[in-house]
Amino acid sequence: MSVTDETLWLAQTLRLELDATVDARTRELARAWSSAWEELADEWQAAIADLLTGDEWPTRAQVVRAERARKALAATRQAFDDLARQIGVTVTSDMPAMAEAIAAWQQRLVASELPSGAVFDWTRMDAKALEAIVKRTTKQIEAASRRLPREQAAVMKQALIRGVAVGDNPRTAAKLMLDRLGGVFDGGRRRAETIARTEMLDASRRAAQAARIANKGIITGWRWHATMSDRTCPVCLVMDGTVFPPEAFGPEDHPNGRCVGVPLTVSWRDLGFDIDEPADVTPDAHDWYDRQPTSVQNNIMGAERAQRLRNGDLAWSDLVVRRDNPDWRPSYHLVPLKAA
Q: What is the pLDDT of residues 51-110, one digit of tens each?
A: 887 667 788 888 888 888 889 889 998 998 888 888 888 888 888 888 889 989 999 999
Assess whether pLDDT exceeds 70 at residue 169: no
In this structure, the strands spanning 260-265 and 219-225 are antiparallel
If we measure between CA atoms, which residue out of 29, 12, 14, 325 comes closest to residue 194? Answer: 29
- Provide the pLDDT confidence category of residue 335 given band limits of 50, 70 and 90: very high
Q: What are the backbone angles phi and psi of residue 244, rounded to the nearest 5°?
A: -125, 160
d(CA 246, CA 227): 21
Mean pLDDT score, 212-220 = 93
Pairwise CA distance, residues 170 & 49, whole Å: 8
Indicate whether 231 pLDDT > 80. yes
pLDDT digits (tens, 9 = 90+) for 190-213: 888 898 889 899 999 999 999 999
Tell me how far the alpha carbon of residue 195 is from its chain's centroid: 7
Predicted confidence at residue 64, as pLDDT, reads 81
Query: Percentage of the chain with pLDDT > 70?
Result: 96
Residue 263 and residue 223: Cα distance in Å, rounded?
6
pLDDT at position 166: 59
Tell me phi and psi for residue 233, to 5 degrees: -60, 135
What is the band of 330 on the pLDDT scale with cuts at 50, 70, 90?
very high
Q: What is the pLDDT of residue 165?
A: 66
How many other C-beta atoms lie within 10 A of the C-beta of residue 338? Answer: 5
Mean pLDDT over each residue of the chain, to the nearest integer: 88
State which amino acid sits at residue 113.
E
Dihedral sign for Cα atoms in the order 49, 51, 54, 55: negative
Distances (CA, A) of 96 to 13, 71, 113, 294: 20, 40, 27, 45
Residues in the chain: 340
Residue 168 has pLDDT above 70, yes or no: no
Query: What ranges in 163-265 are assigned the alpha helix state H?
Result: 170-214, 234-239
| pLDDT tens by residue, 311-323 | 999 999 899 999 9
The reported pLDDT for the residue numbered 333 is: 92
Could you tell me which of 116, 119, 113, 118 has the C-alpha nearest to residue 7?
113
- 16-49, pLDDT tens digit by residue? 999 999 999 899 989 999 999 999 999 988 888 8
Question: Crossing angle for the helix pair 5-51 and 170-214, nearest 10 degrees?
Answer: 150
Q: Name the pLDDT band for 188 (thresholds 50, 70, 90).
A: confident
